[in-house]
Chains A and B, each alone.
Chain A
């Protein structure tokens, strides 16, 4: 097979194809929102902890 095969054409030819039976698409990502939510939640919690418990307790500067 030619490594430089026209991928665009391949995609175009599949535009109307029914991909619901494609086994490669069956294991769809699950829990992505939970993972992203926990990650962002930890990041925000760490930011707030540093800001309120460390930065602000040291007193204002200006």
Chain B
């Protein structure tokens, strides 16, 4: 059986066209989501912070951690991820409301993922990790560290408590904590 070179070339051309079509479909889907739905990876925000002093001054001091609501009603959650705990270990967010998570690490690289959502980012010392999203599902959702950070990594987890908007009531200091009911 002789090798039919034109036939082979034709087959390869058809396969190449199919692969270009597949790549175009996949890339178009990603561009559509990025442009049409404003879906961008957390890395689009590059903001530096001094990991050695973040607990002493600035927005990540202990009193300022957790969920806060500013005068315009914007909900911001600030969390420090450190070996081997989240501070705070539980945060409250209102359902179907735009929220901004801001995280920083004073020691090593950590990472967070909120189960059942697209919230997923690394927390690198020296940088503030920021994720904007909405939580749709009511209830307590697990937020573990997903970047191996040391021997206690498997014990490092936190919870996101999603409550109905009506139950999300900031206190006098415009803060909401898991302890408050």
Residues on A facing B (Cβ under 8 Å): 19-20, 22, 25-26, 28, 33, 36-37, 40, 44, 47-48, 51-52, 55-56, 58-62
Contact = CB atoms under 8 A, between A and B. Distances in A.
B74 interface: no
Given A60-B38, A62-B40, A44 B29 contact: no
Contacts, number: 64
Contacts of A60: 33, 37-39, 118, 133
Q: Which 7 A-B pairs have the closest CB atoms?
A: A62-B40, A60-B39, A61-B133, A61-B118, A58-B118, A60-B37, A20-B2
Given A20-B1, A26-B1, A52-B29, A59 B15 contact: no
Nearest to B39: A60
Interface size class of B (residues with CB under 8 A): 20 to 34
A44 to B, nearest CB: 5
Given A40-B22, A51-B29, A61 B132 contact: yes
B118 A59 contact: yes
A56 B26 CA distance: 14
A25 B132 CA distance: 60
Given A33-B15, A51-B29, A59 B136 contact: yes
B26 A28 contact: no
Nearest to A56: B33
A60 B38 CA distance: 7
Contacts of B52: none
Nearest to A36: B15
